[in-house]
Amino acid sequence: MEFLCYLLWCIIVFYITIWFVRKYFKKSLISILSYTVVMQMIIPLLMMYPFAFSKKNIVSTGMWYYNYLPHLNTVLFISILGIIFFFLGVILSNSSSKPVYKLQNNIASSFLTLSKSNGLILIGTLVVTLFLFLLSNGSMFGEKGIRTFAMQNTSIRPIYNLLTSILPLALGLTLINLINDKRKILLWVLLITLLSIGLSTGSRTTVFSGVIFVVLTILFLRQKSKDILLTSVLTGSFFIVFLMYLSDIRTGQMNILVTLSGLYEKIFFGNTFSDFRDTAWIMAGWDGELLFGKTQISGLLSFIPSSIFPFRSQWSLGVFTTSQVGLDSSIHPGLRPVIFGEAYFNFGVLGVISFSLIYGFIIGRISRFANSILKSKEDIRLKRIKIFSTFFMAELASNLMISAGFYYVYVTCFIIFLAYLAYNLKANIKEPKQILFERGSQSEGHNY
């Protein structure tokens, strides 16, 4: 059985490798789809499978290592099934010869509004205000800082979650606008302020996601260059080292050489890309009874603080995963299942098939929309902002697969909705001739 699982793993790895080689020669290596496949499937699933068997994982899991070993091949089956139906969803999204991108266009319009000076000032002021509020409650005091303080204080946790949900968007928008206009001193001040706040939150994703989306936007726009493969590999390697170093900083270790010396163990046996191992770990303590949407309903109600809503306190994904393996949910945010894992815990194999199919369809549509922007004749500054928005769309879609990210989705969508209202309000008060002139100068298919 184990040999057959390894053979199946090798076949999937081979086909995905061929897929990437084809994308490279077609000069479409960097895309929404390829980014999603790498970050959600290759690194946390396929790459980590062989290493999950190593006894070095005992450092992270303790004696649970021996309990989770029998479940690793089940997680592999779930992952491969999800990947297959994900790609089927992508194929379905490409079936229309003339797709309509109304929703994607509206979101991109919101990002254009947020990138204006007034939008950046408002969102930057909100971030600073939330951070100062946390400071006033003493959240920076103590050895483990703001993150642990927020986890242990349920009254403060919603503010911390709001701050870390807004920061990636604020950071990314500031950086992309700085690339568009490097002469604006205010943007430099805002970027340094946001980076400082982001680093102090103790959340690596807060700093990582906003910045990496900007980098991916730049790579996406220059993917026809000859050195795109080397540039992508070097960029990816830098960000992996950066993530590991941020993890060490969180524990008080500041020496970059120490981080580099332990890079192998941190990547393959640590907790940064541990989705595959953690899913098997959860299964080791799980009684096999399907949840039938309980964790997902809890995620949908994440705008209600768990301190006042007992259902969320009992059935949030973080509480469910920690309770299966005997961890304390009041100080541990929860184990992270693979991208198709929560669908399996709630609805079994049928859940994996249906959720991965929908997920693939959404990512496929977003990827096609991004490609249409690339082919348009719009100003490069507008292209940067719009393509940046598509990476955020893909991130929101990925967060819908794991209910722990629902709160982030709500916050981001609310900001986007407000920006869209502002965009339409501004358009409605313009002179009719001015609106007509602007529409006439736009590329086909994009109403900005």
What's the sign of the alpha-carbon dihedral 238, 239, 243, 244? Answer: negative
Domain end point (choices 348, 382, 399): 348
| pLDDT band of 308, cuts 50, 70, 90 | confident
pLDDT exceeds 60 at position 445: no
d(CA 353, CA 86): 8
In a shared domain, residues 111 and 213: yes
pLDDT exceeds 90 at position 305: no
- Total structural domains within the chain: 2
| pLDDT band of 243, cuts 50, 70, 90 | confident
User: For the chain, what is the mean pLDDT?
Assistant: 87
pLDDT exceeds 90 at position 361: yes
In a shared domain, residues 211 and 273: no
Task: Express each pLDDT in 391-413 by its tens digit.
Answer: 999 999 998 899 888 889 999 99
Task: Express each pLDDT in 423-444 by its tens digit.
Answer: 888 766 654 444 434 444 444 4
Share of the chain above pLDDT 90, in %: 52
Tell whether 319 is covered by a domain.
yes
- Check residue 338 and give its pLDDT: 95
Average pLDDT in the 47-68 region? Answer: 94
Domain end point (choices 295, 313, 348): 348
Taking CA atoms, 294 is separated from 56, 213, 337, in Å, by 34, 32, 16
Average pLDDT in the 6-18 region? Answer: 94
| pLDDT band of 144, cuts 50, 70, 90 | low
In a shared domain, residues 109 and 231: yes
| pLDDT band of 204, cuts 50, 70, 90 | confident
d(CA 96, CA 102): 15
CA angle at 131 for the pair 129 and 137, rounded to the nearest 5°:
105
Taking CA atoms, 390 is separated from 28, 362, 446, in Å, by 16, 11, 14
Q: Give the lowest-confidence range in 25-39, 171-185, 269-283.
A: 171-185
Q: Are 409 and 169 a contacting pair, CB within 8 Å?
A: no
Tell whether 203 is covered by a domain.
yes
Average pLDDT in the 94-107 region? Answer: 85
Q: Give the lowest-confidence range in 35-49, 145-159, 401-415.
A: 145-159
Share of the chain above pLDDT 70, in %: 92
Average pLDDT in the 135-164 region? Answer: 71
In a shared domain, residues 312 and 291: yes
In a shared domain, residues 190 and 289: no
In a shared domain, residues 237 and 107: yes
Q: Which domain holds residue 220?
A: 102-263+409-440
Tell whether 371 is covered by a domain.
no
pLDDT exceeds 90 at position 213: yes
| pLDDT band of 186, cuts 50, 70, 90 | confident
- Check residue 30 and give its pLDDT: 92
pLDDT exceeds 60 at position 303: yes
- Check residue 434 and give its pLDDT: 44
Average pLDDT in the 127-142 region? Answer: 76
d(CA 166, CA 264): 32
Average pLDDT in the 93-98 region? Answer: 82
Tell whether 402 is covered by a domain.
no
In a shared domain, residues 56 and 120: no
d(CA 208, CA 211): 6
Tell whether 239 is covered by a domain.
yes
Task: Express each pLDDT in 192-203 by its tens digit.
Answer: 999 988 888 877
- The larger pLDDT score, comparing residue 441 to residue 252, is at 252
Tell whether 45 is covered by a domain.
yes
Tell whether 154 is covered by a domain.
yes
In a shared domain, residues 80 and 106: no
- The larger pLDDT score, comparing residue 333 to residue 37, is at 37
- Check residue 444 and give its pLDDT: 41
d(CA 299, CA 312): 8
pLDDT exceeds 90 at position 45: yes
In a shared domain, residues 114 and 174: yes
- Check residue 291 and give its pLDDT: 93
In a shared domain, residues 314 and 241: no
Domain end point (choices 348, 373, 399): 348
In a shared domain, residues 178 and 194: yes
- Check residue 56 and give its pLDDT: 94
In a shared domain, residues 302 and 229: no
Q: What backbone phi and psi angles, to 5 degrees, belong to 144?
A: -100, 0
Look up the pTM and report it.
0.88
Tell whether 139 is covered by a domain.
yes
